[in-house]
Structure 1
Amino acid sequence: MELRELECFLVLAEELHFGRTGERLYLTQSRVSQLLRALETRIGARLFERTSRRVALTPLGESFLAGLRPAYDALKGTVEEAREAARGVAGRLRVGFQGTADGRVMAAIDAFQRDHPGCAVDITEIPLSDPFGAVHRGEVDTAIVLLPVREPGLALGPVFSRQRQTLAVSVRHPFADRSSLSAEDLADCPLVAPAGTAPGYWREAQAPAVTPGGRPVPRGPLVTTLQEGLTQVAANRGGMLLCRPTADYHGRGDITFVPVTGLPDSALGLVRRRDADTARLRAFAAAVAAAAEAR
């Protein structure tokens, strides 16, 4: 069995288009057709139904895909692990972060690069409104995001920086003079909330629709970035829940941060795709855990 034939089948099963499959594999359409015919000859049956208008998996093709995908991913992972073991922790690691790459994040990156000078680290901000998309799409290798994380395709760990929540409000807001708030007080303040493609459970955790006692919380502006949210807060268009370190980092004269009791602590976590467990990622996770423990 030729590995290239299997790769061609897997990509064609995703694209269902010979032209796009060829583009992804840097092959001509005729070469894609040739590889597919060779695979179907080995198996002894058609894996795709092909007409001038559409390409679709046959029932046998569906079954073959279900069995092949995990086996191919495991084989690819084994080869990658062997390659990394041979050359050590090297290459390039792309790290995403939400909002702020603060002292905790930078301490972990500095420690990782000190211990693994052969591995370069690219640092990329990911939108507040899309905490997991860049990891799912392979745009970053790992990301530090706000919890909760309930994505079946992502692995979580370590979890760190559990902190009490604060409510960011304009200095003109009635809450600005309060020394603290209860979660029930949120019913009297529209909450700035993440927009976009973030999962519903995650958006609810950052801007709950109801208080723990069941009182509805008014919905404030929808934003895609932390800075956009803080600008809405400064304009007195709503409050925004933030952890204490983020509040301290973004201190400014037109916003005050009031502690809130009765809410779960905020926490950060490192996420990666479950099918992307590499030596680089394991070493970086260890650096994050060590930096968090040191602080």
Structure 2
Amino acid sequence: MTGRMRTVLAEVAVDRWAAPTTHQLRIFLVLADELHFGRAAALMFMTQPALSRQFDALERRLGVQLIARTNRSAELTPAGQAILPEARAVVDAMRGLRRVTRGHLRAVAGHLVIGTAEASMPYTQAILDELRRGHPDLTFEVRPLDLVEQYESLLADEVDAVFCRPPVPEGIATIQLATEPRVVCLSADDPLAELPEIRLARLRDHPVVSYPSECPQVWRDFWTVAVRPDDTAVGSGPVVRDVETLLTTVALGEAIAFLPAVARRFLPRPGIAFLDVIDLSPCLSALAWHAANGDRPTITALRRAAETARNR
């Protein structure tokens, strides 16, 4: 047999070998680090006999002895030393393959309609930026809503999610984004507007803007501060459906309103003033979605973007 023929037959034999599994190669890497079958089995969460069987199968598949064993010691053979970096490269490559594959599986394509009744929601821009970075194939639009539509459209599946101010009605799930104080918004001509701060009791004679009956009762009670520390009844002002109408009503002196403190910065208008209220509980900002739709991939992607942005 010529040398060339022997080389060809050797190459054919190598091509027909039984390729080792990634699991077997991981066992080899751990054994190479530990040089102890008992410790390696513990690290691999296997029994020692099971690990030995898998390692023996690896050596049979490769056709070489990788580790020389005695009752007291184990050490890499020359073949084991030569194969070690190649085995590590294969395992690392498989990890990379899994990482890339999982990344593509997590990638979400589709379209989201996100509603908001208030452009000044904390975290809004950060969440949308995070969504763009994490899911470039997912498109979205932000749709302005009035105070009635923010929950009605969510329950009717006309929008996928809403940036809102709780409380929310039943059937809607939320993730809390931020907490901030509430302030009173009143006419700049009101004598109380000159005070540095105020208590609710000083506002007992001021009617509060009303909201349509379509708004959830729990939400209306919170934002009109229907329950006061002194149990005084709240006077009802004009009904408003949106923030701009609310601000106009206040500027005309027809009623006061309670708003998130961030309104000072984002909703300044001629003829209105914002005043701290000492004994008024804070409010939340939240991302909300129809509870029945929480497992949709697009909603899940938005929720994770919100959690990432909030915790950053």
TM-score (norm 1): 0.66
SS in 2 for 1:216: coil
Moved over 4 A (4+): none
The aligned runs of 1:205-220 (5 Å cut-off) are: 205-220=222-237
Deviation (angstroms), 1:171: 0.7
**Ranges in structure 1 where 5+ consecutive residues have no aligned partner:** 1-84
CA contact (8 A) 1:186 1:217 kept: no
Counterparts of 2:201 and 2:285, CA distance in 1: 24
Task: Give the structure 1 partner of residue 115 of structure 2.
Answer: 96
Identity %: 25
Once the two structures are superposed, residues 136-177 of structure 1 have per-residue CA deviations (whole angstroms, 9 ceiling, x without a partner) of 0011011111111241x2222x11221111011111012210
For the 8 Å contact 2:109–2:135, the answer to whether it is kept is yes
For 1:282 and 1:264, how far apart are their aligned partners in 2?
Answer: 31
Query: In the TM superposition, what is the alpha-carbon distance from 1:104 to its structure 2 partner?
Result: 2.3
Q: What is the aligned partner in structure 2 of residue 142 from structure 1?
A: 161
Structure 2: state its 5+ residue gaps: 1-103
Q: Confirm whether residue 236 of structure 1 aligns to residue 253 of structure 2.
A: yes
Aligned-partner Cα distance in 1 for 2:302–2:311: 14
Kept in 2, the 8 Å contact 1:187–1:210? The answer is: no
Residue 279 of structure 2 is aligned to residue 262 of structure 1: yes
Q: Pick closer, same or farther for the CA change 1:211–1:130 going to 2, 3 Å.
A: farther
Which of 132, 153, 165 in structure 1 is aligned with 2:151? 132
Q: Give the count of matched residue pairs.
A: 208
- When normalised by structure 2's length, the TM-score is 0.63
Alignment RMSD (CA, Å): 1.9
1:178 lines up with 2:195 in the alignment: yes
Q: 1:233 to 1:123 in 2, by over 3 A?
A: same
Amino acid at match of 2:231: G
Match of 2:137 in 1: 118
SS of alignment partner, residue 259 of structure 2: strand
Query: What SS does the aligned partner of 2:147 have?
Result: coil
Shift of 1:87: 7.8
Partner of 1:106 in structure 2? 125
Q: What amino acid sits opposite 2:304 in the alignment?
A: A
**Helix, strand or coil at the partner of 2:262:** helix
Equivalent-residue separation in structure 2 for 1:101 and 1:139 (angstroms) = 22
Q: What displacement does 1:208 show?
A: 2.5
